[in-house]
Every structure is written in structure tokens, then in C-alpha cells.
Structure 1
Amino acid sequence: MINQLGKREILIIKHLINAKKPLSSDILGVILGTSPKTIRSSMTFIGEILKIAGGAKIISKTGSGYAIEVEDENEFRVFMQTFNAKYLDAYWIPTHTSSRVAYIMRRLLMAREHIKMEQLMEEHYVSRVTLSKDLKEVRKLLVTYHLRLEHRAKYGLMIIGREFHIRVALVDYLDVDEDANASIHYDERTLYLKDPKMLNDETIRALIDYQISISNNSLRKIIKYMIVTEYRLKSKHFPVILPDDFVNIKQKVEYTVATRVVKSCALNWNEDEIGLLAVLFISRRNIMKNEAFSFRLDTQAIAYSEGIIQFLNESLSIDLSEFDSFRDELAKHLRGMIYRITFGIEKRDVGILESKGSNPAFEYAVVACKWLSEVLNQSIQETEIAFLSYRFYMFYRLLTTKEKSNVLIVLSSGKNASDLFIYELLGNFGTFIETADAAEFYEIPFINMEKYDLILTDIPAIQFNVSIPVKRVNYIFDDNDLQKIKSFFVHSQINSEQFLSYFSEEHYFREVDLETKEEVIEYMLQSMSIEDVDTRRKILQREKTSSTERGNSVAIPHTNYLFIESPRIAICLLKKPIIWHREYCQLVFLVLNGKQEKEPFIALSIAKAATGNIQFVYDMIRTKNFKEAHEVLETFIESFELY
């Protein structure tokens, strides 16, 4: 049943799950670039799916909006496991065409000969014009697999590309419409020549014996790849041949694992096929933080890691070399990443929009991939950039919390009770704290408060006559206490008034009637009197590297270099939503990064955090002048979280 959900329905469910309060059809309509009427229709369909297969239902609260109410926890948990994988795939589903695209992809990938357009038109009861639009989207998807669609007169359509890439694409499209058995062709029913459970069990045994860790999703994809490979070989498709420069792959433990799996599963594969299975293990392997890393066998990954660290220092003046473990942790990631890029098997099961929108280290990964792309002489897909950004995030907070706070603890039960309090405080916020001292309440008038940045106490704050902030919390922190303390430390890194100064009335544009992102960017730059051709080129280049759409009907075009002394942010409200890259967009923030920020991209990160709040986006799109927009910004900045 879940496979019947389209992209809009998937996004609606995700918003409802994440929402802290019911969401109206008006808000969801603005965020998803459609009408409230369409949202209400989708809600009815979602409600039917959840009732049958989700252990939940849609409830509508008058004056508030829609929410999901769970009726069966176990059934809903099972539903969510499948849904989360479906949500990651939704990014690749075209926003403005139907789910036919996924079916056509699978149909063409499984075909042994050319398929005529008339045949597809009859199968779907669509016109040539409609099918042509769908095929345009199919071509876009095929590019991400390093494949292309050939159309030969009198013959029809056929996918062209390397056998290995066809297999990888097939892995992702095996489950399309798995409930619609009537639509499955004979070729697909004969696909499973080997027992999937046997392949799964033997692979798990080998991974455990050789202490290799991969995610459950990666395991599932590798098993599917083995099924597809066996089918393709039995169907007389050409076996894959490894490049000569990968002969050293036999020295790696993953090749030993692949050899054992092939032998134990009685697969009649040659050495090159075994080598490609080993490549998949390498590309999907998780090398844990405390896991040994071979400098002898992986000197290339170490060299690339050092090159990226040096490039980030030169480009953004950030010195990651001071963190001893970062080089090795980055090299562990690059080991698999290099194989994925080289063989064209980039990760796709990554939350791209989440990473763009909520990971403040995403831009560091973009800059790092610029260097890596030039060194490898290959383009890097944004899924890989998003995946790499999580590695950078591990060290981002260390980079942005160099100015640590000195905290004074004052408890009603006295200094003797402060040890546990300080232990818990440092456990949660140690990266933000330089010192944590304790004092009795009566000692406050005699203490030099210039030494401290914050007082934490369980005594009413009104009783303190001091010039520094006082936060009242419980002796044992609850969620509100943690949020209160976190808010202070985050805001101590950012000057809120300074951020608001980056906006100005002359850089607020509304009712802008344009059709493409290029037109929007050009309009905003001209309106801001930015005539530098190089700036426009770099903004568009940043778009090409990884689209700046961040979901929620928002795009934030920007450059990856420090353009001016102080950042500037322009606001553009489009008259109607447009397709920015894959997503609808109506609110555009154009950010010109500045040299005076404490760390690169701080203003950009706050803009991303703001537009992650759908109420903020809805309120901003409804503003009629800059005064109203500024009020929306002020309301947000009072309670925002950067991390």
C-alpha cells in the first residue's frame, strides 16, 4: 500500500510527523506549492493508507489543522521503517509528473530489446505529449546513474550505458509498484534465480566473521545487486570487467569477503564480478571511530584527506589540522567515497534536503568536494556531498565554539551539592564551557562577576543583582532546562542584532513574476546593484554543484567564498511557486557571505535554520512589506537554534 503514495503525500506525512502542532491545509499548500483543496484531497488518500497499513489515522481539528494519531504503536513502527526509506527516495521523484516515471524506468531497465513509444502509450493510456514529458524526467534520472536513453527511428527506446550502471539502477527500481502484481512482466517474475534469504544469511555470516560493518539498508542493496547480477548473467548480458588499475583490490579484506560469499552461495562468477562485489562492500562499509585503519593500504585516502584539510584552510581560513583525529576520520569516509565516485555508484539513500537545510557543515562539504572533483577529474553528485557533510558536522561544533563561557553555579542546597550538577552540565555542554565554578548565594556580592558569562541556579533569578545573565534551572535537568542552557550558548556565538542588520528594505522584493531560478538570481543581483559578472558566475556554479533549494518552498542561493566585508541577505517573494531544481520554491533568500563573521557561513546557517520552520516560511510568504518581514525575522531570532 505504501508504494501508492506519491511525492506530495510522502512530504505531507513527513511534515505531520515532525510538527509539534496540527498543520492547516493553507500552510501545507504554501510549503508544497499547491492549493489547500489539493492538500485536503491528499489527506483523504493518506488517511485511507494509514488506516489499512499504518496503524494510525488522520485527525482534523477545527481551527487548527491536521495531525496523525497513532492507534497501534507496533503497526505504525513497521509502517515508519518502510516509509523512511520511501521518503529518501522521494527526492528523486519528479515534483510535477506522475508516478509513471518510476514504472517507465523499471520497464526500460528490464527490457531486452527496444520498446516503442506506442507500446508505453497503450500500457498507460496516455498521449504522446504526456509520455514525452515523462521521458524527459526519465532522461534526467538516468543521468544520475551515468546512463542515457536512446531513441532510434522504427526501433524505439533503449537504455544505453555500462552493464554495471544498469545493474545499480535496477537495484533501486526493483520494488516499484510491488503491490501491483498484475503489472509485473514475465522477466521480473523470473528475476529471483537465487533464494534472497540464503544470499542474505551467507553475506551476514561473512561480514560478522571478518568484522565488517555495513548498514541494514546497504546490506539490502547488496543482496539485490547479487540477485540482479545473477539474473543478468543468466540472461546472456556481458559480464563486467574491472579497470586494470584496480588489480590491488585483491589485497583488501572486502575482496576476501566477496570471494567467500560467492563461493558459499554457489555463484558462478569470474574474478572481475567478485571484484565488483568487493567494490560494493568497500563503498558501503562503515569504518567506526575506534576501528583500526590501514595507513599502508589506504595511503590514497589519507593523502586526499590531507589535501582537503589544506584546501579548507586556504579557502575559508579554518584550521582543521588542530583536531588530531579529523584527518583519520575523514580518510575513513573518503576510502568508500572514492570508490563510489570512480565506479559511478554514488549513495542515493541520503536525506539531501535535511542535510542542506539543517546541517550547518554542509557548505564545508561543498568546498571540500570542489577540490576533490578537480583532483579526481570527475563530477560529484550532491548525495555524496550531503553524506560527507555529516562527517564534517562531527567537528563543526568544535570549530564554532572556540569562545567558551565561564559559568558560575549557585544552588540553594550549597556548594556541596554542585559536583553532580557540574558533572551533568559538562556532559551536555562541555564544548561550550571553559570553567564551571560553584559559590554560595551569600558570596555573590563579593565575587568579581567580570570573570563569568552566566549564572545557573535553582534560586529565583529575581534575587540576583548582577550584570550577567541568570538562568533558573532544576537540580536534575529536564528537557526545558537543557533547551534553556543550549539557547544561551548558541546565542553567545551569534549576535542576533547583527544578523538582523544584514536585511534591508531596499533588498525586500515581493510579487516577483519570474519562471526560472536563473531569472530570479539575475533579478535579485541587479536589484541589489551587484554588477560583478564573476559573482553571478560563482552563484550559478554553486547551484550546479548542489542546488540551493532546501525544501519547504525555499531556496537560498549563495556563493562559497567570502564576497564582502559584512554579509547581506535579500528576500524575494515570488508571485507563484516555480520548480527551482526538483522542488517547488516561492521564498528566496540570496545570501552574500561576508568576511567579518566569526566563522564562515554563520549568516547562511541561520537563514537555513529559519526556513526549516514551516510556520516562519508561511508567515514570511504572506508578508506585504519589509516591516512585516522584519517582525517575522525578529520573532524567529528570539528563539532560534543553530544546531
Structure 2
Amino acid sequence: MNQRVIRIIQLLLNQEDYMTVDQIKEVVKASNKTVRMDLKTVESVCAPYNIELIRKQGTGIRMVGPDSAKLALKNKYNIEVDTNQEFSPLARQSYIALRILTATDPCKSSMLGEELYVSKATIHKDVHALRDYFKHKKLEIVSSNAGIYVKGKERHIRDCIFDYMMQNEKYNMLSELILNPDYRSTDYFIYPSIDYTDKNFYDLFNVVLETKLSLFDELSFDRMQRLLIRVFISYIRILDDCPVALSKDFMRKLENANYYHEAEIICEAIEKAYSISFNETEVHYLQVHIQSIVSDSNKTSTDTSAKVMAYQLIHGWMKQFDYPFDKDEELFSSLYRHCKPAITRLEHNIPMENTLLPIIKNQFRNTFLITKDCCKVIERNFGYVISDDEIGYLTLHLVAALDREKKKLNVLLISENSVGVNKFLQQRINDLVPYMNISRIIDVRSYRDEDLSEYDLFLSTTSATIITDKSVVKISPILDEADILKLNTVGYEHFKEKNNPSQYTKEKS
């Protein structure tokens, strides 16, 4: 439960007289709108305890119910307070970041401390830890007598809000709002420091999706969700009277660009549903973000730049690997499709969070570093700064190309069984162990006379097979489940060694 809601429950539980929304607002340091939204949550929490919120026109609000019920609610509240104390440093910093980014007034460190159940000193340490990241986003965290606030251009503030929403562990909860047609709102604050509940997200997402624009069919689910979050951020910033600014030259360039009509339809749908107004700049701002994640097949300049970028990457990889990647049509096609929206992101400094980046860096470390090195040429030629998130996605295209060229292990099967059993065993291994190919089967009595240098691995149905300085794996003639597991484990290690990209990279001076 949101900490502010808990504070309101505590206020009303300990107050016999009526309290006005303004009085509650002053205590919890929130807007009238936020307090009224919180009071709806308070009502739903109180309902199971037969406690009501009585509203009296011109007087205020009072909590009414049996004393035993109030005591039970108070006990529950105390338990919930304890659970809310378990904020990790990163979770606290994410909370503070979103709070100061979306607040309309400076946030007092004392109030942030009360919300997070930590000292003012801890809040100051967390804010200090945030400063470098905000600086990287071209924003400044200002601490003054009035409180803590963020200084910078509105588009950078929106980008930073987007980043923290994407990085937050609650991000995945938004997927259910989109995917589950039977979703039932609980007025839950998905992001505790943002004054909007799951219902607010759900309602706005549906308003946008009900436009049934064809562009949604072009997007993967992840990209569609990213676009919906961008729209939501624009919506809440307009509500808080925080307009975005774009230069006149940039606006003129966008007049004949793609996706203006789609952006306009989305904005009109929100205007109709919420009685707010998107000015022309806001429509163009949304248009840019649609362009950044949708391939723009009609924009010639982007087409040309995307082709050049794809070719430069491919030739960079060719210098690093002993393989003609320029002959791989599938690599160029997939890379070109990625580079088209990527160029829009890079041109306008639009971040794209790569949730797979830690896995990519760990599992494909060498390939990632090679791609990062190749991107330096693109940065020089185009004047872009390419983030690790973007490089991570480019790395996956190279990984896919390398996978297409990976060679199975050339395996010799040494057997003491009949031809029929051997054929059965050969087919089983080829079908069930994807890393291996049984290219030849020989009798156990003749393997010593064979040239074994061309084989990567040896399998034998008898423990009597001994090959000096070579690995021999003992299996049963019928290949049971234990054998399959063993072969896949052993085979994968040999397969990785045989196809290790570092073996094909040229030595650097």
C-alpha cells in the first residue's frame, strides 16, 4: 500500500472531528487531486472493517465505525508500516527519483524520509548518489530551502521518468494491464512515488489501444508497451502543466514526416476521454517517439543512413572475424530494419532501455566488446553517442549471424553392435543432440587403424575404447535418458569451444 495512503488512514483514525482535504493535503504534502484519489483507496481499505468515510459538505471528512474495527485496522496498519521499511538503497533511489521528477513542488527531505522510513541523512546520501545519473541525462538535482527539485529541459525530464519506470521491478506489472482483458483494478499504486494507480494506467492504455491504429500491429509487445508508457508520461505532464518544447526548425522538419496522423489520433482520443488539450508541439513530440520505435519505410534519408550504418557495422565485423558477413543477406536485412528506428533514437537522444543487457554482456561478452569497438566508427562518421543498451541489441544481430554459421561437432561412433543397432543409435543421437553429427560408425576392433585427426569427439558403446589425448564418451547402445543428458552437456561444451568467436578474431596490434 502507498505510504501516503497509510498516513491518511492514521490521520483519520486518530481524529474525532472532521478534516478537510486541504488539512490532509498540508500534512501529507500532496495536491488536492492526489488526496482525493488516495481517499478512494482509503475507502476500499476500510470497507472490509465496516468503517466508513463520512463526508459533510463544507466541513470535511471523518472516519466512522466500531472502536474494535478501528483497532483492527490500526493493527493492520502497523504491520504494513513494518513491511514498508524494507526498501533497498536502489529501491529508495528509484522512489526518490520518480518523486522529484513528477512533483509539481520541491520535495522536503524530511517528508521523503517519513515516506521511506529513513533519516534525512539517508535521503541526502541517496540524492547525492542520483546526481551523476541525472547529470548524464542533462538534468540537475537542486537542493534548496524550499526542498529538492529537478532543473532541466522538459523532454529530458520525461526521458528520465521513462528510464526509471522501465528500470523499476514493477514495470512488468503493466503488461497485465494490456494483456488481460478481464483485469480488475484494485486502485494499487504500481509506482509508489507516482500519484497514479493501476486503474489510471489501465484506463489510459485502453483509450489509446481502442483507436485500433495499424501501427500497433507493426510493433512487438515490448515496443508497444514502451510507446504506451511514453503516451502516459506525456499525459501526466500535461495534467501538471509541464509542456514540452521543440525548436521551430525541428517542428518544420516533422511536418511532412511519417506518423503525425497516428500521433494526432492518439492525442485526440485522450483529449476526448479526459477533457485535456494536446498542443501541436505535444503531437509532434509523440510523433518523434512513434518514429523512434517503428520502422519508417518511406523516409528516404533514414533509409540511406540505415543502410550505411548496417554496412559499416558489417564491414567492421568482417575486419574482426575471419568470415565474409557481407554475403549474409539475412544479417543485412535484420540489421537494416533495426538501424532505421535506431537512427531516429540517436538523432533525438531518445533512450531505449535494454532489459537484456546484463545477460548479453555476461553470455556474449567478447561479441559485445567487438560490436562496441565497431560502433566507434559509426559514432565518428554520424556524430552519435551509442549507448551500451543500443550496442547490446546490435550484438544480438551478430550473435544470430554467428549461430547460423556454427558447425556441429564431427563425431565418430565406435561400436561393438550390429549394423541395425548402430543405425538406430546414429539416428537417435543426430535427432536428440543438436550439437553433434555422427558422420561415421566403425567397429571397435578397427578404430586403432583409423586417422582420427578430423573428429571433434568420440563416442563408444564400450569402455574398452582408449584414444590417447582424445576425449571418449561412453554411452549405452540404446541411448537412455542419462546418456542424452550427458551428451548434451559434453557436446555443448565442445560445441562452444569449436565455435568460440574469439578463435576467429584477428590478433590486434
What range describes the TM-score normalised by the shorter chain of this pair?
A: 0.5 to 0.7
- Which amino acid in the other structure matches residue 283 of structure 2? I
Question: Cα deviations across residues 516-537 of structure 1 (Å, max 9, x unaligned)?
Answer: xxxxxxxxxxxxxxxxxxxxxx
SS at match of 1:112: coil
Cα pair 1:347 1:384 within 8 Å, conserved:
yes
Q: Give me the whole-angstrom Cα distance separating, in 2, the residues matched to 1:394 and 1:438.
A: 29
- Which amino acid in the other structure matches residue 103 of structure 1? Y
Q: Give me the whole-angstrom Cα distance separating, in 1, the residues matched to 2:121 and 2:262.
A: 49
1:198 aligns with 2:103: no
SS at match of 2:504: coil
Which of the pair has the greater relative contact order for Cα pairs under 8 Å at 6+ separation?
A: 1
- Residue equivalent to 1:87: none
1:112 aligns with 2:104: yes
1:356 offset after TM fit, Å?
2.0
Distance change in 2, residues 1:444/1:196 (3 Å) = farther
Q: Give me the whole-angstrom Cα distance separating, in 2, the residues matched to 1:598 and 1:342.
A: 36
Q: Give me the whole-angstrom Cα distance separating, in 1, the residues matched to 2:196 and 2:446.
A: 77
Question: Cα deviations across residues 296-325 of structure 1 (Å, max 9, x unaligned)?
Answer: 852211111112233344567775324332
- Identity across aligned pairs (percent)? 17
Cα pair 1:193 1:230 within 8 Å, conserved:
no
SS at match of 1:439: strand
- The Cα RMSD (Å) is 4.7
Q: Give me the whole-angstrom Cα distance separating, in 1, the residues matched to 2:320 and 2:194.
A: 55
Distance change in 2, residues 1:409/1:133 (3 Å) = same
- Residue equivalent to 2:77: none
Q: Give me the whole-angstrom Cα distance separating, in 2, the residues matched to 1:450 and 1:124.
A: 68
- TM-score, L = length of structure 2: 0.62
Q: Give me the whole-angstrom Cα distance separating, in 2, the residues matched to 1:293 and 1:450.
A: 57
- Residue equivalent to 1:281: 290
Distance change in 2, residues 1:180/1:398 (3 Å) = closer
Question: Cα deviations across residues 126-181 of structure 1 (Å, max 9, x unaligned)?
Answer: 655433312112213323543222345x5443212222232233345569798996
Distance change in 2, residues 1:206/1:184 (3 Å) = same
SS at match of 2:219: coil
- Residue equivalent to 2:398: 392
Cα pair 2:409 2:457 within 8 Å, conserved:
no
What residue ranges of structure 1 are gaps of 5+ in the alignment? 4-94, 495-596, 603-643
- Which amino acid in the other structure matches residue 373 of structure 2? V
SS at match of 2:217: coil
Computing the radius of gyration from Cα coordinates, the structure with the larger value is 2
Cα pair 1:110 1:188 within 8 Å, conserved:
no
1:133 aligns with 2:125: yes
Residues 227-626 of structure 1 mapped to structure 2, 5 A cutoff: 227-241=232-246, 244=249, 254-266=259-271, 268-285=277-294, 298-314=303-319, 319-360=324-365, 361-397=367-403, 406-409=410-413, 412=417, 413-414=420-421, 416-417=423-424, 420-421=427-428, 423-424=430-431, 428-429=434-435, 436-441=438-443, 444-445=446-447, 448-450=450-452, 452-454=454-456, 457=459, 459-463=461-465, 469-473=471-475, 475=479, 478-492=484-498, 598-600=503-505
- TM-score, L = length of structure 1: 0.50
- Residue equivalent to 2:48: none
- Residue equivalent to 1:19: none
Distance change in 2, residues 1:115/1:440 (3 Å) = closer
- Residue equivalent to 1:157: 148
Q: Give me the whole-angstrom Cα distance separating, in 2, the residues matched to 1:460 and 1:250.
A: 75
- Which amino acid in the other structure matches residue 348 of structure 1? E
Deviates more, 1:440-449 or 1:229-238: 440-449
Cα pair 1:242 1:272 within 8 Å, conserved:
no
What residue ranges of structure 2 are gaps of 5+ in the alignment? 4-86, 171-186
Question: Cα deviations across residues 595-630 of structure 1 (Å, max 9, x unaligned)?
Answer: xx633499xxxxxxxxxxxxxxxxxxxxxxxxxxxx
- Residue equivalent to 1:564: none
SS at match of 1:114: coil
Distance change in 2, residues 1:143/1:256 (3 Å) = same
Distance change in 2, residues 1:405/1:374 (3 Å) = same
Aligned residue pairs, count: 395
SS at match of 1:241: coil
Q: Give me the whole-angstrom Cα distance separating, in 2, the residues matched to 1:370 and 1:157.
A: 38
Distance change in 2, residues 1:319/1:195 (3 Å) = same
- Residue equivalent to 1:92: none
Q: Give me the whole-angstrom Cα distance separating, in 1, the residues matched to 2:244 and 2:469.
A: 74
- Which amino acid in the other structure matches residue 213 of structure 2? A
- Which amino acid in the other structure matches residue 276 of structure 1? Y
Cα pair 1:414 1:440 within 8 Å, conserved:
no
Distance change in 2, residues 1:380/1:161 (3 Å) = farther
Deviates more, 1:451-460 or 1:356-365: 451-460
SS at match of 1:462: coil
Q: Give me the whole-angstrom Cα distance separating, in 2, the residues matched to 1:365 and 1:286.
A: 22
Q: Which one of the candidate residues 149, 157, 166 is aligned to 1:166?
A: 157
SS at match of 2:464: helix
1:363 offset after TM fit, Å?
0.9
Cα pair 1:312 1:367 within 8 Å, conserved:
no
Distance change in 2, residues 1:210/1:229 (3 Å) = closer
Residues 50-129 of structure 1 mapped to structure 2, 5 A cutoff: 97=89, 99-117=91-109, 120=112, 129=121
Deviates more, 1:379-388 or 1:297-306: 379-388
Cα pair 1:347 1:383 within 8 Å, conserved:
yes
Q: Give me the whole-angstrom Cα distance separating, in 2, the residues matched to 1:192 and 1:445.
A: 72
